[in-house]
Structure 1
Amino acid sequence: MTAATVRLGAIGAGWWATSNHFPLFAARDDVELVGVCGKGDGLEAVREKFGFGFATEDATELLDADIDAVVISTPHDLHHPLAAQALDRGLHVLCEKPMTLHADEAWDLAARAERAGTVFLVPYGWNYKPFTVAAKRMLDAGAIGEIQYALCHMASPTRGLFGTDPTHMLERWNSDTAPDPTTWSSPEHGGGYAHGQITHSSALLFWLTGLRAASVAGRAITAGAPVDLFDAGVIRFEGGALGSLSGAATLADGDKYQVDIRLFGTEGVLMIDVERERVTLSRYDGRREELVIPEGEGEYECLVPPARFIELITGASRENNSDVTVAARSVELIDALLRSSAAGGADTPV
């Protein structure tokens, strides 16, 4: 890598990679797209469209190429082995969410990333919004004191995605490549609302607060779908705080995403509402504060995280709002939630 250019490889060339990541990286002067790894007859067309130097169906060939960093956008269950190989080669890694499906895999990647000393970023778009960044500054400054209770709710118009009909999501992202149903609606590959969506809200919660779950008593139901569409849990956090988690896949197509985080502390309350685009602080000493948020800023997009990944590698930024530790805390919570549900809702350690 020169001071100005990151030699980048990519593993996974499906819906999300081709609709979001590849166009962003291809437009940057400080990125050279060295190689792309994927499957199917369309791989060569992807290589040509985005200007990758070579295409291969062999992930090892891609990882052994002369690259500085890799983007992993494969089905969820493949993230851990591929990211582990990349880190062991000393590569910077952008790994799609959920980072892994199981807690032990997540913390294994955290340990490998620490040994490698390289950048590891999981692209959670809401973690980079100006209003969530401002909310975190409030929390870091002690605006609500010690957190005693946290509510974390998410709902989205994704019933078709997890029920094998991705038409609405395809229209939303304007991709030429349809989402692969085996990624989103197959239990074997980690499909379902918890892994597919609660990964967003929980990672936002953990980045904002620095909390870590100790245990969760959870329930998940499929409501006739192949995978979970509804999830709920009661969380005990390290340090004694209590929390509630909920998720629902069945907003009507076109409705705005709901991400609602409410934090109750020893000195006040902070509310973050993505749908209504508001952040409000109410302190017990009478101080009130509400952020001015431009209309539309709450809409989900993932433009900043890929750019930040490159900036972290080149030294242009030091702000990683979705590092391996944040991602691992999300994974271990979801892992425990689903294990708890399978055990009838028993309180389950992370």
Structure 2
Amino acid sequence: MTVRLGAIGAGWWATSNHFPVFAAREDVELVGVCGMGPSLAHAQAEFGFDLATEDADELLAADIDAVVISTPHDLHHRFAAQALERGLHVLCEKPMTLDAAQAWDLVERAERAGTVFLVPYGWNYKPFTSAAKRILDAGGIGEIQYVLCHMASPTRGLFGSDPTHMLQRWNSHTAPDPSTWADPAHGGGYAHGQITHSSALLSWLTGLRATTVAGRVSGPGAAVDLFDAAVVQFEGGALGTVSGAATLADGDKYQLDIRLFGSEGVLMIDVERERVSLSRYDGRRENVAIAPGEGEYECLVPPARFIDLITGTSTENNSDALVAARSVELIEALLRSAGASGVETPVHREPLRET
């Protein structure tokens, strides 16, 4: 089977990560790409798309089986909803949406469409996180009672005005639009940009759903949040903290630290130090073997898995619409709470309703 693929968005992440993966596969035909400005012609020339257009409707109306959406955050819902209504398979960049109602709307649409919907969270596909999930699914720590979920990144240049190596990596064809990451009106900030990773990993590993969030954010010298901290109450009674910081020093490894405390033991996942360890109250200990460098972030498996799910060569989707929606609703509640001076805020669960 050959998957006829279209793409909406031709910026830095699509051209540096997704398109090379798809172009290297014999079971993918790159049919069309939609974008704006010089990046569009650059993407068509480099990857050989037959069609290049600035009109997303034209792209979606082309003879395609699937679409990759790598637009600014606030456009994800619009294009994903249109694609699902056409019965297309969808790979939608993170965060899936900025709004919980829109997120649950996409969950419902994906279920109705019966097509593959994947949000490319790279850490959800690492061998060591898969091992951690197997431990949890086997009841390794019993009932989860407390969660610590922390993330930190060397991303000052992405979310603020400091010209760190993050911005120096890009050229004129692929440099990200600052409004995507550093403008609050378009979902800029650390929560949507990075805590989306840690919260989606937590969601996939545990299946936990937040019910209320009490959050605070700050952004010294920036227009958006650089630091985030929240106390989270989950369904079933588990308590947790979710936090993030954008200001690691240049070149430092990403921190993503999830510690799960259960009725029968504790599980620690630490991507910076590349370790997963189980400590049970009955005395049993287990350490997962992790290859050096495996904790580093990369996102090559998710786009490849997207195609494998379409062709039927895989059935494992570690970041479907449900996982992504749980991340969106937690982050949205965190930011709403922060805007209300940290008041405990219920998580929004209802999908959009047509009027």
Q: Does the C-alpha gap of structure 1 residues 70 and 125 become closer, same or farther in structure 2, counting only changes over 3 Å?
A: same
- The question of whether the paired residues in 2 share the 8 Å contact of 1:161 and 1:169 is answered with yes
Q: Does 1:24 align with 2:27?
A: no
> Superposed, which structure 2 residues align to 1:189-208 within 5 Å?
189-208=186-205
Distance 1:42 1:346 in 2: 43
* Alignment deviations for residues 95-138 of structure 1 (CA, whole Å, 9 cap, x no partner): 00000001000000000000000000000000000000000000
TM-score, normalising length from structure 1?
A: 0.97
CA gap of 1:164–1:58, structure 2 versus 1, over 3 A, is farther
Q: Which residue of 2 aligns with 1:58?
A: 55
What is the count of residue pairs matched by the alignment?
A: 347
1:277-312 deviation line (CA, Å, top 9, x unaligned): 000000000000111111100000000000000000
Question: Map of 1:1-350 to 2, 5 A cutoff?
Answer: 4-164=1-161, 167-170=164-167, 177-350=174-347
Look up the SS of the partner of 1:197 in the other structure. helix
Please state whether the residue corresponding to 1:148 is helix, strand or coil: strand
Residue equivalent to 2:350: none
Q: Is the 8 A contact 1:166 1:179 kept in 2?
A: no
Matched residue SS, 1:160: helix
SS for the counterpart of 1:345 is coil
SS at match of 1:34: strand
Residue 170 of structure 1 deviates from its aligned partner by: 4.7
- Identity of aligned pairs, percent? 81
Query: CA contact under 8 A between 2:164 and 2:250: conserved in structure 1?
Result: no
Aligned-partner Cα distance in 1 for 2:171–2:130: 28
Contact 1:39 1:57 (C-alpha < 8 Å) held by counterparts: yes
Superposition deviation, residue 222 in structure 1 = 1.2
Shift of 1:42: 3.5
1:277–1:293 Cα contact (<8 Å) kept: yes
Cα contact 2:39–2:173 (8 A) shared by 1: no
State how far apart, in whole Å, the 2-side matches of 1:186 and 1:125 are.
25
Alpha-carbon distance in structure 2 between the residues aligned to 1:333 and 1:223: 23
- Structure 2 CA distance for aligned equivalents of residues 175 and 289 of structure 1: 48
Displacement after TM superposition at 1:176 (Å): 5.3
What are structure 2's unaligned runs of at least 5 residues? 348-355
Runs of 4+ in 1 over 6 A off after TM superposition: none
Letter in 1 for 2:256: V
Counterpart CA distance in 2 for 1:220 and 1:61 is 40
Aligned equivalents of 1:125 and 1:299: distance in 2? Answer: 10
Q: 2:157–2:167: 8 Å Cα contact kept in structure 1? A: no
CA contact (8 A) 2:73 2:180 kept: yes
Which residue number corresponds to residue 352 of structure 2? none
Q: 1:164·1:181 contact (CA, 8 Å) conserved in 2?
A: no
Q: Secondary structure at the match of 2:236?
A: coil
Distance change in 2, residues 1:348/1:35 (3 Å): same
**1:204–1:83 Cα change, 3 Å:** same
Contact 2:275/2:290 (<8 A) preserved? yes
On the 8 A contact 2:271/2:296 being kept in 1, the answer is yes
TM-score, length basis structure 2: 0.96
**Deviation by residue 1:159-178 (Cα, 9 ceiling, x = unmatched):** 11001456522556889511
Alpha-carbon separation, structure 1, partners of 2:14 and 2:285:
42
Give the distance between the partners of 1:87 and 1:203, measured in 2 at CA.
Answer: 22
Q: 1:28 to 1:96 in 2, by over 3 A?
A: same
Q: Deviations over 1:14-43 (max 9, x none)?
A: 010011001110111000000000000341
**CA distance in structure 2 between the partners assigned to 1:172 and 1:149 by the alignment:** 39
1:19/1:176 contact within 8 Å kept: no
- Contact 2:191–2:244, Cα closer than 8 Å, also in 1: yes
Gaps in structure 1 of 5+ consecutive residues: none
The aligned amino acid for 2:218 is I
